[in-house]
Amino acid sequence: MSSISRPHIYLLIVTLFLLIFVFVFSFELLIPKGKEYRILSVDMKKEIRKFRQYKDYSDTKLGIVQELQQKNRVIIEAFNYNFNPEKFQKQYKEYFSKLQISPKTELKNEKEFKVYEVNATSQINSPKSFYNFLDAVNKGDWIISVNFPIKFKRKEDGISSSFTMKVYKIDKKLALHGIKNNLLNN
């Protein structure tokens, strides 16, 4: 008989079995999955790079938006104010001898804004006071556009003027709808 003992033969058989198992496992599972892992790893790095580019772009745009919101905070808030004719008359009566505001009429909405038309008739001493009024309206509580023509008539006690104004107020439903449409189109 051979000089190899029985426990050594069992050990040799188990070792060969384990060696064959390791080779089969390596060539059937590890190597193919390793190739797949490398491909997925490269794809993941590309996606991470794209994500960082989009994140940088988003952060840049967010910074610009926040800066613009801060810079234009007064204007943005003015879009939320409801137009009050009595308050308007009180606020701007110093520019006129007499100021009369007709009730506001709602016009067709323009994009995200509710638009009201307001007719005003006034009595002024000089055209300069009317231009001062226009400057004050630009710094006021509402977003107002004074429509042309502005009619001036000379009267004995001064100048009579009549003009129409459009008052803009943001319509949150229309604004959200507009934002949603912009996002879907981009």
| pLDDT tens for each residue of 105-131 | 665 555 666 666 666 767 777 777 777
Written as six digits, the tokens of 106 are: 């709602």
Residue 113: the pLDDT is 65
| pLDDT tens for each residue of 142-158 | 777 777 777 777 777 77
Quick one: CA torsion of 62, 66, 68, 73, rounded to 10 degrees?
150
Identify whether the C-beta of residue 114 lies closer than 8 Å to the C-beta of residue 80: no
- Give me the amino acid identity at 47: E
- Give me the amino acid identity at 181: N
Helix intervals (H) in the chain? 6-25, 31-71, 73-78, 85-92, 127-138, 172-185
- Give me the amino acid identity at 56: D
| pLDDT tens for each residue of 154-183 | 777 777 777 777 777 776 655 444 444 554
Structural domain boundaries of the chain? 1-71, 79-174
Long-range contacts at 80-83 (CB < 8 A, ≥ 24 apart): 80/169, 80/170, 81/141, 81/142, 81/169, 82/169, 83/116, 83/118, 83/142, 83/167, 83/169
Instruction: Inform me whether the pLDDT recorded for 61 exceeds 80.
Output: yes
| pLDDT tens for each residue of 31-60 | 777 788 889 899 999 999 999 999 999 999
Tell me the CATH architecture of domain 79-174. 2-Layer Sandwich (3.30)
Q: What are phi and psi of 40, to 5 degrees?
A: -65, -35
